[in-house]
Amino acid sequence: MESTKRSIAKSISWRLLATVITASIALGITDQWELAAAIGLTDTIVKFFIYFAHERTWNRIDFGREQKQPEYFI
């Protein structure tokens, strides 16, 4: 299971990358820096919390995890 700190770090790094992508797309469509920045910031704030909750929820689900076999020492 991942720690809460790791989930936060992953959320932040992903949102920084995603913000740049979203703002770049918005800038390409609107050709307005301020609007593109506002869209990117709003998107980041909303999706940061959604991603964090999603990540923590998946940490509670065993689907697809391999169980560690106990190691025996002779």
Q: Does a structural domain hold residue 39?
A: yes
In a domain, 64, yes or no: no
Higher pLDDT, 61 or 74: 61
Report pLDDT digits (tens) over 2-13.
Answer: 788 898 898 789
Q: What is the pTM of this model?
A: 0.61
pLDDT above 80 for 20:
yes
65 inside domain? no
Q: Report the C-alpha gap between 1 and 25 in whole angstroms.
A: 35
Residue 66 domain-assigned?
Answer: no
Q: Is the residue at 17 inside a domain?
A: yes
- Structural domains in the chain (count): 1
Phi-psi region of 64 (alpha: psi -120 to 50; beta: other; left: phi over 0): left
73 inside domain: no
Within a domain: residue 21?
Answer: yes
First to last CA, the chain: 29
pLDDT score recorded for residue 21:
95
Neighbour count for residue 5 (Cβ, 10 Å): 8
pLDDT value of position 53: 92
Range of the domain at 43: 4-59
Tokens, residue 38: 């506002």
Two tokens, residue 69: 């076999």
CA gap 45, 15 in Å, rounded: 9
Identify whether 19 is part of a domain: yes
